[in-house]
Amino acid sequence: MAGPLILLTGPPGAGKTTTARQLARELRPGVHLHTDDFWSAIVSGAIPPYEPAADAQNHAVMDAVVAAAFTYASGGFATVVDGVLGLWMLDHVRAGQARWSDVPVSYLVLRPDRAVTLERATGRSGADDLVDPEPVLHMWDQFADLGELERHVLDTSADDETRTLDRVRAAAGGPAFRL
């Protein structure tokens, strides 16, 4: 039996990685795929993924992420993927759904308001954390209007880590956030 595939997305600083890591630990058997790891696997010639010139690179990386995620899920693992997976990347997921139709896919967007996102992102201190305000705000803007998928948004502006995890856990368990 296939495990669920939970896509946890949003702008930098939204709490995706913290939440995904903890959620995957709770699910048995559970896998956490951090999309930044797929980008950092490019050890020569990488283009920052938020740059327009990175389009072909980003599509190749998303193909790899989707293949790994669906392979784990089809093997019975509850799989939580975190990363900046906007509408522009969902064609890759839909292609995966066509191949692995038995895998239920949930799409959850953590989207604190713009000011909170900027504060959280620029306040991070990890060596690989994106803290530059310009791309952070650009990515927030890309999640500002998701059209029919707006119902997949959780406004986490007032949440602490525990509250966000509780909300994601509840949302991922139901049909409202299914793709």
Sorted by where each starts, the structural domains of the chain and their CATH numbers stand as 5-177 (3.40.50.300)
pLDDT tens digits for 27-53?
999 999 999 999 999 999 999 888 889
Nearest to 17 by CA among 125, 148, 129, 146: 129
Q: What tokens were used for 160? A: 């602490």
Sign, Cα dihedral of 152, 11, 141, 157: positive
Query: Would you say the pTM of this structure is higher than 0.85?
Result: yes
What is the 3-state secondary structure of 56-90? HHHHHHHHHHHHHHHHHHHCCCEEEEECCCCHHHH
Residue 115 tokens read as 């000011």
- What local confidence, expressed as pLDDT, does residue 139 receive? 87
pLDDT at 121: 86
List pLDDT tens digits, range 56-95: 999 999 999 999 999 999 999 999 999 999 898 899 999 9
